[in-house]
Chain A
Amino acid sequence: MAAPRLEAAALDRARQVLDEIVPGAVTAIDDSPPEGALLIDEQHLVDACRALRDDPRTGYTMPLFSSALDWLEREPRFDLVYQLRSLTQNTTLRLKVPLADGVSGDLPHAPSLSAVWPGMEWHERETYDLLGVVFDGHPDLRRILMPDDWEGHPLRKDYVSFGEPVLFTDRASFAPDSAMSRGAPD
Chain B
Amino acid sequence: MTSSLGTPSSTVGLSLVEDTSEGPLMELNMGPQHPSTHGVLRLVLRVEGERVRSAMPHIGYLHTGFEKDFERLTYHQGTPHTDRMDYLSPLGNNLGYALAVEKLLGEIVPVRAQRIRVIMTELARIGSHLIFFGTSALELGAQSAFLYAWRERERILEVNEMVSGVRMMTSFIRVGGLMADVPAEFDPTVRAIVHDFKPRIDEYESLLTENPLWLDRTRGLGVFSAADAIAYGWTGPCLRASGIDYDVRTSDPYSGYDEYEFDVPVGTHGDVYDRYLVRVQEMRESLRIIEQALDRLEPGPVVIDNRKVVLPPRSELDISMEAVIHHFKIVTEGFRPPPGEVYLAVENPRGECGFYIVSDASNKPYRLKVRAPSFNLVAAIPELMRGCLIADTVAILGSLDFVLGDVDR
Contacts and interface: CB of A to CB of B under 8 A. Distances in A.
Query: Which of B77, B366, B369 lies at the interface centre, i.e. has the most chain A CB atoms within 10 A of its CB?
Result: B369
Contacts of A161: 68, 72
B364 A146 contact: no
B318 to A, nearest CB: 27
Given A69-B358, A87-B244, A34 B7 contact: no
| Chief secondary structure at chain A's binding surface | loop
A155 interface: yes
A119 interface: yes
Contact of A144 (B60, B235, B345): B60
A90 interface: yes
Interface in A111-130: 117-123, 126, 130
A104 B42 CA distance: 37
Contacts of B228: 118
A145 B77 contact: no
Contacts of A15: none
B108 A1 contact: yes
Given A1-B103, A184-B74, A64 B354 contact: yes
A165 interface: no
Contact of B343 (A94, A121, A183): A94
A31 B334 CA distance: 27
Q: On chain B, which size bracket covers the interface?
A: 35 or more
Query: Which of A64, A90, A123 lies at the interface centre, i.e. has the most chain B CB atoms within 10 A of its CB?
Result: A64
B391 interface: no
Contact of A122 (B65, B104, B252, B376): B376
Contacts of A3: 252
B103 A34 contact: yes
A185 B60 contact: no
B376 A181 contact: no
Contact of B340 (A32, A90, A140): A32
A63 B373 CA distance: 12
B162 interface: no
A140 B2 contact: yes
Nearest to A84: B233
Contacts of B252: 3, 92
Query: Which of A90, A120, A139, A140 lies at the interface centre, i.e. has the most chain B CB atoms within 10 A of its CB?
Result: A140
B77 A34 contact: no
B333 A185 contact: yes
A146 B61 CA distance: 8
Contacts of A130: 67
A121 B376 CA distance: 10
B153 interface: no
Interface string A28-49: 0000111101000000000000
Q: Which 3 A-B pairs have the closest CB atoms?
A: A183-B72, A119-B233, A122-B379
5 contacts: A69-B358, A126-B375, A145-B409, A183-B71, A184-B74
